Structure 1
Amino acid sequence: MLSYQHGYHAGNLADVHKHTLLAWALSYLTRKDKPLSYIETHAGRGLYDLTAPEALKTGEAAAGITRVEPLLPPDHPYRVALAVVRAQHGATAYGGSPLIAEALLRDCDGIHLAELHPREHAALADISGGRLYKTDGLALAQSLLPPTPRRGLMLIDPSYEVKTEYAALAKLLPQLHAKWNVGVIMLWYPILVDNRHRAMVRSLTQAIPGALCHELRFAPARPGHGMHGSGVITVNPPWGMQDEARRLTQLFSDL
C-alpha cells in the first residue's frame, strides 16, 4: 500500500473532479464566521511539478487541469486556490488537496493531515503548515472524531491498491458519521472497468440517507488504462453542493 506515487497522476481528471468539489465545499464552510476542522486521511506530498518527468510521462495533467481550468469561472474557489499555490511555489506547481485546503482555510481553522508513506510524508512536512501525522489515516480519523472545532470536513482519498478497501470503507464511513454527525465527509473513489465500486456505493447510500453521490465518466488516460471515471460521496453535503456537481457534469460533458 506504500507503492502508489501520485506524481504520475497529479492534475488528472479525477483530481480535477475531487479538488473542484473540495474547494467549493471549503469555500462554502468558511463563509460562516466560525472555526472548523479539516482532516485528510491520505494527504500525499501536497505539491507537484507539472513539468516533472513523471507528469510528462503520463500526460494526465495536460488532459486534466491544463484543459479544464480555463473553463471554470475565474473566481471559482479551485482556481483561487491554485493561484495561491502558484504564487508561492512557481508557475508549474500543482497543489494537492492539502495545499488547496490550506489556501482556502483561515488561521482559526485546524488542519490534520495523515500520510504514511515516508517520502511523501517528508515532502509534505517541508511545505505544509498543518498538523502532520505519520500514521494510518483511517485509524487517525477514528481517533480524532469528533474533532475540536466540531464543524468541519474530512477528505478520504485512498489509492485503492487493495481491493478489500472498498468493503472496509463501506463499513467505516457509517461509523465515522455516527461519531461526527455534523461533519462533512467526502470519499473519493475511482471508476474502473470492472465497476468494483458499485457494491460500496450501494451500501453507503443505503446506510447514510441524504449522502450525495456524484460520478463523472471520461476517456481513459491512455490505451489499456483501467480508470474511466471518478466518484465522490459526500456525507452532509453543504447546501448548494448538488448544483455545483451538476455544473461539473455539464462541464465534463463538453470536454
Structure 2
Amino acid sequence: MLSYQHAYHAGNLADVHKHALHSSALDYLTRKDKALSYFETHAGRGLYHLDGIEARKTGEAAQGIARVADWFAPDHPYARARAVVAAAHGAAAYPGSPLIAAALLRGFDNMTLAELHPAEVSALRQAMPQRYVQVLQEDGLAMALSRTPPEPRRGLMLIDPSYEVKTDYDRISDLIAKLHRKWNVGVIMLWYPVLANLAYLMMAQALRMRFPDALSHEVRFPPARPGHGMIGSGIFVLNPPFGLQDEATRLTARYAGL
C-alpha cells in the first residue's frame, strides 16, 4: 500500500489526460469570485523532476508530456500551471495535481491534501507554496468522508488511488455514492487506469450505471514498454463543470492520433 512511487510515472500519458481535465475543471470553477473547497485523497509529493533517475528509468514522461506538450496552447490552464511551476523550480519540474491546483486556485480557496506515505508527505509539505493548505498524513478515502460536506460547499475533490490494493476497485463506487449524498454540489473527479487485464472494468461499469449523467471519459495509448499493463486512462466526474465535455472530446481526438 505504501510502495507506490509516482516519480517513476509523472508526466506520462495518463497524467496528461488527468491533469488536462483536472486543470480545465478548476479553471472554470475559479471564474466566479466565490471561494472553493479543494480536496485530494492521494496527493503524492506534488513536485516531480523529469530529468530525475526515476523518470529516466521508465521513460514514461519522454513518451508523455515531453512528446505532447504542443497539444496545449500557452493559455490552457494545464500549460499555465506548468509554466508557474517551471518558473519556480526549473524547466524539468513537473507539477503533480496539488501544485497544479495551487497554481490555479486563489488565496481565499481552501486546500486539503491527504497522503499516507511518510516520505511523500514530507516532500509534499516542502513543495506546497506558502498559502492556506492542510497536508494530512492519513487515509484519503476516510478523509473524504469525514470532511464532507465542506464549507464553502462549492468545490472539487480529486480521487486518485494507486490501485495497488485490489479492494480499491471494489470500494470506489459505494464511496462515491456516499460522497455524493453528503456533498451533492461537489465536483467529484475519479481517475483510474485502463488496464489490459480489465481489472478496472467492473468498477467503471458500476459507476456509469449508478450515475448516468456523469462525465465518463477514457483514452487509449500504446503501453509504455513491452508487457506494461496500462493501455489507457479513465476519468469519471460527477457534476462536471461547463466545458469539460468539450475538453474531453478534444483529448479524444489527440489521443487517437498517437
SS at match of 2:42: coil
Q: Which residue of 1 aligns with 2:108?
A: 108
Report the residue type matching 2:193 in the other structure: P
The 5 Å alignment of 1:1-255 reads: 1-129=1-129, 130-255=133-258
Letter in 2 for 1:240: G
Report Cα offsets for 1:14-64 as digits up to 9, x if no partner. 000000000000000000110101100000000011000110011100110
Structure 1 residue 239 displacement after superposition:
1.3
Structure 1 residue 209, shift from structure 2 partner: 2.8
RMSD between superposed Cα atoms in Å: 0.8
Q: Please give the TM-score of this superposition, normalised by the length of structure 2.
A: 0.97
For the residue of structure 1 that corresponds to 2:70, the secondary structure is helix
CA shift for structure 1 position 213? 0.5
Unmatched runs of 5 consecutive residues or more in structure 1: none
Distance 1:215 1:119 in 2: 31
Q: Any idea what the Cα deviations from partners look like across 1:114-173, whole Å, max 9, x if unmatched?
A: 011000000001121421100000000101100111000000000000111101101111
The one-letter code matched in structure 2 to 1:236 is N
Structure 1 counterpart SS, 2:232: strand
* Alignment length (residue pairs): 255
**193-202 vs 3-12, which moves further:** 193-202
Structure 2 residues not aligned, in runs of 5+: none
The percent of aligned pairs where both chains have the same amino acid is: 63
Instruction: Find the aligned partners of 1:90 and 1:10 in 2 and give their Cα distance.
Output: 16
- Residue type at the aligned position of 1:201: A
Instruction: Kindly provide the CA deviation profile for residues 51-90 of structure 1, in whole angstroms up to 9, marking residues without a partner as x.
Output: 0011001110011011111121221100000000011111
State how far apart, in whole Å, the 1-side matches of 2:37 and 2:15 are: 22
